[in-house]
Amino acid sequence: HNHFMSKMWKKKKKLMAMKGALDEDGVPIKTGPGRKPKLHNWASYLERTKSQGAPLRLFREPFPVHKNGFKLGMKLEGVDPKHQSLFCVLTVAEICGFRIRLHFDGYSECYDFWSNADSAFLFPVGWCEENNRNLQPPKGFTAEGFNWQNYLKLSKAIAAPRSLFNNLPKEPATPHLFQLGMKLESVDKKNSNLICASTVNDVMSNKILIHFDGWEDTYDYWCDITSMNIHPVGWCEKNGKSLSPPGEYENVHFDWKEYLERNNAEAVPEKAFKPQSPVGFEPGMKIEAVDKRNPILIRVATVMEVDGHLLKLHFDEWDECYDYWVEDDCPDIHPPGWCHKTGHPLTAPPTPTDLLRGSTGCPIPGCKGIGHIKGAKYTGHHSAFGCPYSPLNMNRESTLQDRLGSTRAEEVIQTPTPSSPVDIKMIKGEPPDSPEAVKKCPTPGCDGQGHVTGKFSAHHKLSGCPKAQNNQLQQSVAAENIVPKKSTRGRKPRSYYLNMGDRGPPPKTPKLKIKHERDYDVTSPQDNLQNGIHNSVFKSAMATTPNPEVSLCWERHVKLLPGIHRLKGSEVAKWNIEQVAAFVKTLPGCEEHYKTFKEEQIDGEAFLLISQADLVKILNIKLGPAIKIYNSLAVFKSSLDV
């Protein structure tokens, strides 16, 4: 009984902490009827820190004009923040102040996202049909077979009233010259070093959808027509900047005039561009900002640097390694007092006690165990494995596969989840079925396997080919610790984007950093079975030309674990937490470790995502049991190839 009460008390404390109803020592604040919990006092905080709050004039709409009228379970349509060219079926899954958590119907809660209730990218049911946009139906439905009226009846849900959508696109008061299909030059928001040939792919009032020619729509983004990220055709040439042409021009001279004629396209007129000046933030100003690593939280933050339209944010009392860049019109930054006015909890800066390692349940200093790296599927964590602030997760955009299945070989994460045909192709090392990825490598005799960096399982361009003469030379130069000249084209790994924030100013002298992996010892054959398995666990499986002796060969692993071969990876992916723990318990010598998997809330999907080092370094499992657990994972993943 006492154990049960203790667990309930911990859950209650975590819930109250999320609602801001605990004092600095973690003790619940007693509140009488109608009294609100103790709030972060901005006036005294600004006085104590001798700082200034950001003035209201810097925000387009400092405080909401309307109340948040959304209710749990309401259905609506909206733009997917990670695939901004797509309009999707959404459900309100959580409400907090003026913010709502939205769920993609038919998909895991892991992909839920938070939005302000007045977002210009949320629409009432039927808006796409009325405005000639393609609506992505819930998973399991076809576009032709989806009907809102029937779907609402089937799901016993209601549509969000049209009156809740106060920012629907309208005819602009002043007509502009941006039209569908016109060409321009645009900054890649995920790598501000790149300015690319692009197309206006959609227009909504004063907003346009930018699409990079030759790239898939993963990189598309919406921006205002006054954005500093867009430029007229020829801007790069006039300003001495390098333009990244469409993919088919990688080794061919690119000429705008010829390109426009060949595509029967027009350039956006130069007079259409009226870039807005920076709004006027200054270093040292205090604001309230959504924590992008844990978006359920809004924290006290300081503007550390200003670079044009870019702000470098620092969460007060946190390490500067968590700083990141945002644009000055970002909808996730607010003036001091926004949370209080909208009824949203404001997470105060951590106290010295909070910063003691392990003092709040999670071992990461400052973290109170709220949120999870896998999104809304889990409300909390108590170890580095699930912590959004742990070094393990700092450089990961996500531990999840892309919601729609990754469509570029370069986006393969360490151990893809076997949840779709696209993922299975990636595990096999085959390029997925996308217009960009089906291109063949131009190097004679190359099948597109491997990548010159050793980080990816496939390539389709000369620049990524390990067999290309220039790249072989570059690899030999890199082996001698000489930094090669950086290419002006191509996109950096997603870890780079996360460190820079959504966008950061381009580095003054960009250099290409090359990781040096220890070479496989090809001169000494691995005769010992255990050594071979050890190498497959602790040496990179993503090397460009791995030694066949140490490749992940499931027949070798299955010899040590008879009976495992009867389980398929596709089945394991569907396991719940209990099933994963039960399986680990059945492995010889691993009986005591099943509790770890249970405590970390590792389900089948997460189990297959565990990397080679996670077992030992993060879960603290000894080498022997770790090898056995990873052997079974190797078998499960290899069964997808059969």
Q: What is the pLDDT of residues 523-575, one digit of tens each?
A: 333 344 444 444 443 433 333 333 333 334 444 444 555 566 678 888 888 88
What percent of the chain lies above the pLDDT cut of 70?
67
Q: How many residues does the chain have?
A: 642
Q: Give the mean pLDDT of 612-639.
A: 81
Q: What is the pLDDT of residue 458?
A: 57
Distance CA 64, CA 116 (A): 10
Q: Per-residue pLDDT for 452 more than 60?
A: no
Comparing 349 with 599, which gets the higher pLDDT? 349
The CATH number of residue 93's host domain is 2.30.30.140
Q: What is the DSSP string of 387-449?
A: -TTSHHHHT-S-SSPPTT---SGGG--SS--S-SHHHHHHHHTPPPSSTTTTPPP-STT--SB
The CATH number of residue 616's host domain is 1.10.150.50
Token code pair at residue 402: 């892309």
Residue 90 lies inside a defined structural domain of this protein: yes
Give a three-class secondary structure readout of 344-387.
CCCECCCCCCCCCCCCCCCCCCCCCCECCCCHHHCCECCCCCCC
Residue 613 lies inside a defined structural domain of this protein: yes
Lowest pLDDT segment from 357-371, 508-522, 563-577, 588-602: 508-522
Q: What is the pLDDT of residue 562?
A: 54
Distance CA 179, CA 202 (A): 8
Using DSSP's 3-state secondary structure scheme, residue 217 falls into: helix
Lowest pLDDT segment from 72-76, 112-116, 130-134, 538-542: 538-542
The residues that bridge with 195 in the sheet, in sequence order, are: 187, 243
Q: What is the pLDDT of residue 560?
A: 53
Residue 376 lies inside a defined structural domain of this protein: no
Looking at residue 310, its amino acid is L
H/E segment holding residue 212: strand 207-212
Token code pair at residue 330: 């970002």
Token code pair at residue 11: 């859950």
Mean pLDDT of all residues belonging to the chain: 76
Lowest pLDDT segment from 13-17, 50-54, 221-225, 463-467: 13-17
As for how many domains the chain has, the answer is 2
Q: Which domain holds residue 114?
A: 75-164
Residue 251 lies inside a defined structural domain of this protein: no
Q: Give the mean pLDDT of 209-235.
A: 95
Residue 151 lies inside a defined structural domain of this protein: yes
Q: What is the pLDDT of residue 467?
A: 61
Q: Per-residue pLDDT for 248 more than 70?
A: yes
Using DSSP's 3-state secondary structure scheme, residue 41 falls into: coil
Q: What is the pLDDT of residue 109?
A: 92
Provide the pLDDT confidence category of residue 451 given band limits of 50, 70 and 90: low
Provide the pLDDT confidence category of residue 502 given band limits of 50, 70 and 90: very low
Q: What is the pLDDT of residue 3?
A: 52
Look at residues 147, 164, 181 and tell me which one is the last residue of a structural domain.
164
Q: What is the pLDDT of residue 209?
A: 98
Provide the pLDDT confidence category of residue 358 given band limits of 50, 70 and 90: low
Q: What is the pLDDT of residue 45?
A: 95
Q: For 132, left (φ over 0), alpha (ψ -120 to 50), or beta?
A: left
Q: What is the pLDDT of residue 355?
A: 82
Q: What is the pLDDT of residue 318?
A: 95
Look at residues 164, 188, 209 and tell me which one is the last residue of a structural domain.
164
The residues that bridge with 83 in the sheet, in sequence order, are: 80
Q: What is the pLDDT of residue 281?
A: 98
Asked if 504 and 312 touch (Cβ cutoff 8 Å), the reply is yes
Asked if 447 and 466 touch (Cβ cutoff 8 Å), the reply is no
pLDDT tens digit sequence for 299-344:
999 999 999 999 999 999 999 999 999 999 999 999 999 999 999 9
Q: What is the pLDDT of residue 15?
A: 44
Residue 476 lies inside a defined structural domain of this protein: no
Q: Give the mean pLDDT of 19-23.
A: 37
Comparing 354 with 410, which gets the higher pLDDT? 354
pLDDT tens digit sequence for 156-195:
999 999 999 999 999 888 899 999 999 999 999 988 889 9
CB atoms within 10 A of CB 15: 14
pLDDT tens digit sequence for 275-284:
999 999 999 9
Q: Per-residue pLDDT for 397 more than 80?
A: no
CA–CA distances in Å: residue 447 to residues 119, 410, 490, 548, 603: 46, 16, 21, 17, 35
Q: What is the pLDDT of residue 526?
A: 38
Distance CA 218, CA 221 (A): 9
Distance CA 607, CA 629 (A): 10
Q: Per-residue pLDDT for 598 more than 90?
A: no
Residue 177 lies inside a defined structural domain of this protein: no
Q: Give the mean pLDDT of 355-365.
A: 76
Look at residues 115, 135, 164 and tell me which one is the last residue of a structural domain.
164
Burial of 16 (0-12, 13-18, 19+ CB in 10 A): middle
H/E segment holding residue 478: helix 469-479
* Of 436-440, 483-487, 535-539, 575-579, highest mean pLDDT: 575-579
Q: What is the pLDDT of residue 624?
A: 81
Residue 201 lies inside a defined structural domain of this protein: no
Looking at residue 427, its amino acid is I
Comparing 632 with 538, which gets the higher pLDDT? 632
Q: Which residues are CB-contacts of 95 (< 8 A; sequence separation ≥ 6)?
A: 68, 70, 71, 72, 101
Q: What is the pLDDT of residue 617?
A: 76
Asked if 441 and 461 touch (Cβ cutoff 8 Å), the reply is yes
Comparing 434 with 150, which gets the higher pLDDT? 150
Comparing 634 with 288, which gets the higher pLDDT? 288
Angle between helix 623-638 and 529-538 (nearest 10): 80
CA–CA distances in Å: residue 235 to residues 243, 263, 269, 502: 9, 20, 12, 23
Distance CA 231, CA 269 (A): 10
Comparing 630 with 511, which gets the higher pLDDT? 630
Comparing 396 with 384, which gets the higher pLDDT? 384
